[in-house]
A and B are shown apart, each in its own frame.
Chain A
Amino acid sequence: MTTDKQVLVVDPAAGTLGGVMEELDELGFRVIWVPSLAAALEFLEARPNLSLIIASAAAGQMGGLDFLARVHQVAPNLRIIWGARPDDGKGPVSARAGKGLDSIIPEPFRADELRSAIAELLAEHFYPTAIADAVKAAALEVLGPIREFKVEGGAFLVANQTALSDMSAVIPFGGGVSGHLMVGMTRQHAEILYRAFLPGIRSVRIDRMEDLVGELCNQILGRINAFFAQHAVSIQHGTPIFIRAAGSTLRYPGRHPSFAVSLVEPKDQARVTLEYYLAEFDREKLQAPVASRVLPLGEIRYL
């Protein structure tokens, strides 16, 4: 994707947001620090392709509305996360942030809260809604016939989403776009799915459950790839790689956020997590006319 993965941190005291900067760096962003809102504007006017600004409350919300107005004039899609002191939260900036364009979270920033705010604000930058929807739809198309599932969440920057999985399957793909899909679940949930997939089965071996996880990964990826094929993006994928270890996750050297989705049954009897990683991808390709030569599910094409 063409997003500039740069985040501007505005904080008068360098180091106050050191933990935040480290966290962002871990997530694959290049973090630039400036001491004031004025310096931030100066930087932005020179380089308007930033992804995000994180401004500490200490940077001063005095003049915050003017700052916001100027920022959105220079870079309309740029998101801002404001830090708030405990007694903040009802000022004009908060009111502006409350409109959903930006986010305001209390300081000191907690890693999970910050990650969640970043995920919410930047998801579209990395995984356009169309792709996010395709991933969710693919998962439901494949898992739906086995059990009744619903999508829970759907955010990116969730590096350890599969932390609760005992077994995972990964399928790398390449071609018009590259990346991988990882599907994981606990052993207990894998057994529930296995018994639903093969009713009447007596004993369930771990390698057989693993095999099912791999097949589900394969089928879900196939449905996601069909979405790309509609936009004339051809993708090839291979066979699954199995990981039998709790907390498995994958990182490519380029470090780019993953799109993570959980699918749960209403009574939480089974939970499946998906981690979809897409490397650099030109989103302009999604604007290509929809091709008709993609086989829909539930149709037999006689040759």
Chain B
Amino acid sequence: MSWQILVVDDSFAVRAQLRAELEKRGARVVEAENGREGLWRARENQVDLVLVDVHMPVMDGLRMIEELRRIPEYAETPIFILTSDAAGSRVDEGKKVGANAWILKPVKADLLWKAIDKALFGRPTGPHSGEMPKADSMRTGIK
């Protein structure tokens, strides 16, 4: 079985683009349009990694991560924020709610893939600004 990634973004175009890239590399993709739907999907499907936007209607990405971290099954799951917001203060908020990485849009597929690869399998990644904490303790997602 392949591993499963939850993509939460209010833009269909972004979700479709990510789905195409991730499926090309063998992942199964679950989609949600906002944070609230993201929580439902996460509960329905035990996903291995979450990619979530920040600015979304109904429930934003930071609030969703905060809620998701309260679910014991998602306490250690890698969560990447994928957003257009580059401000350092917002990145701090992401860290506070329990995100593992902050990635800016537009993102190159290879860069994103390397980060996912590292999070799921602990492999070395490409250019980045620091080491992901607890990489070894992250769930591998291989089923």
Contact = CB atoms under 8 A, between A and B. Distances in A.
Nearest to A226: B86
B91 A295 contact: yes
A219 B86 contact: no
Contacts, number: 115
Interface in B98-119: 99-108, 111, 115
Contacts of B101: 300-303
B104 A222 contact: yes
Interface stretch (B7-15, B41-49, B67-75): B7-15
B87 interface: yes
Interface string A274-303: 000000000000000001011111111111
Contacts of A239: 10, 55-57
Interface residues of B, number: 41
Contact of A301 (B11, B12, B55, B91): B91
B11 A294 contact: no
A237 B104 contact: no
Interface string A224-241: 011001000011011100
Interface centre among A142, A200, A221, A301 (most CB of B within 10 A): A301
A238 B108 contact: no
Given A219-B106, A229-B88, A237-B55, A211 B133 contact: no
B108 A145 contact: yes
Contacts of B103: 300-301
A82 interface: no
Interface in B1-24: 10-14, 16-17, 20
Nearest to A238: B55
Contacts of B131: 302
Interface residues of A, number: 38
A229 B105 CA distance: 16
Contacts of A201: 16
B37 interface: no
A118 B133 CA distance: 55
Interface centre among B16, B86, B95, B132 (most CB of A within 10 A): B86
A211 B94 contact: no
Contact of A303 (B55, B95, B111, B125): B95
Contacts of B100: 302-303
A303 B12 CA distance: 27
B137 interface: no
Given A198-B20, A300-B101, A302-B132, A222 B85 contact: yes
Nearest to B97: A303
A208 interface: yes
B138 to A, nearest CB: 12
Contact of B105 (A222, A225, A293): A222
B140 interface: no
A197 interface: yes
Given A222-B84, A300-B129, A302-B133, A214 B11 contact: yes
A224 B10 CA distance: 21
Contact of A212 (B13, B20, B84, B99): B13
B111 A145 contact: no
Interface string A186-207: 0000000010011011000000
A293 B88 contact: yes
A225 B86 contact: yes
